[in-house]
Amino acid sequence: MHLTWLGHACVLLTGTKKVLIDPFIPEGSVAGTDPDLVLVTHGHFDHMGEAVTLKKPTVAIGELARYLQAKGVPAEGMNIGGTIETGGIMVTMTPALHTSGIDDPAGAGCAGTAAGFVVRMDGVCVYHAGDTGLFSDMKLIGELYHPDVALLPIGGRYTMGTKEAMVAAQFIGAKTVIPIHYNTWEKIAADANGFKTAIERSTDLSVFLLGPGESMDIPPSR
Ligand code: NI
Ligand code: MN
């Protein structure tokens, strides 16, 4: 599987299928990625992004899925703890400690709660934490799904910062850790290099700092 960080929390997984998670990038558009499946962790603009205009098969928590359906998106709802299989891709929805309001001029609303995703495709398991604070049940995500890759927010203020994300990485135990949701704006500035150094000094995990648009290959582990 090929993993591309498009910036902020937006990640494209390319394998048998193309899975786009949180289709928002601060500048430009994700329309050219032409995903088979879009996953949206929660209703905030910097995650829902272009989900409405893409109009691709989309998976989100039930309340958010219904909002997307009303906008003409072929969205499927699920909820935390559940797993669905779609086109050979296994998608499990995980908890996230965060809110999920929709910023819509037609009426801001609550879109259920925020979530994360565990995605399994082509023998690779990727955990995208979404926006979240640290929670100790991340240990269960490690025990149950053994992710190869953990995509963790480190920007602070709205999510975990580097200190909490270091603990999260150890709870999850994914050998490859990729920080996301930082440095997009001044308010979520983070020292990603310091995060990498601190984790790699004290654990056997590896932190990969991708620039926006950069990719890496994730070999199958099972
Ligand atoms: Ni958010
Ligand atoms: Mn966010």
CA 8 to ligand 1 center in whole angstroms: 11
What's the 3-state SS for 95-119? ECECCCEECCCCCCEECCCCEEEEE
Low-confidence stretches of the chain (pLDDT beneath 70): 107-108
Q: How far is the CA of 100 from the centre of ligand 1 (A)?
A: 7
Specify the CATH number for 2-212; select among 3.40.50.2300, 3.40.50.150, 3.60.15.10, 3.40.190.10.
Answer: 3.60.15.10
Rounded to the nearest angstrom, the distance between the alpha carbon of 42 and the centre of ligand 2 is 9
Identify the pLDDT of residue 158: 98
pLDDT at 110: 81
Pairing state between β 101-102 and 109-110: antiparallel
pLDDT at position 108: 66
- Name the closest ligand to CA 22: 2
Residue pLDDT, tens place only, 80-101 = 999 999 999 999 999 999 999 9
Distances (CA, A) of 198 to 41, 77, 86, 152, 183: 28, 38, 38, 15, 19
What is residue 91's predicted lDDT score, i.e. its pLDDT?
98
pLDDT digits (tens, 9 = 90+) for 153-186: 999 999 999 999 999 999 999 999 999 999 999 9
The ranges assigned to domains in the chain are 2-212
Burial of residue 103 (CB within 10 Å: 0-12, 13-18, 19+) is exposed
List residues, by chain if needed, whose CB lies under 5 Å from ion ligand 2.
46, 131
Nearest by Cα to 120 from 158, 101, 147: 147
Asked if residue 80 lies in contact with residue 93, where contact means CB atoms within 8 angstroms, the answer is yes
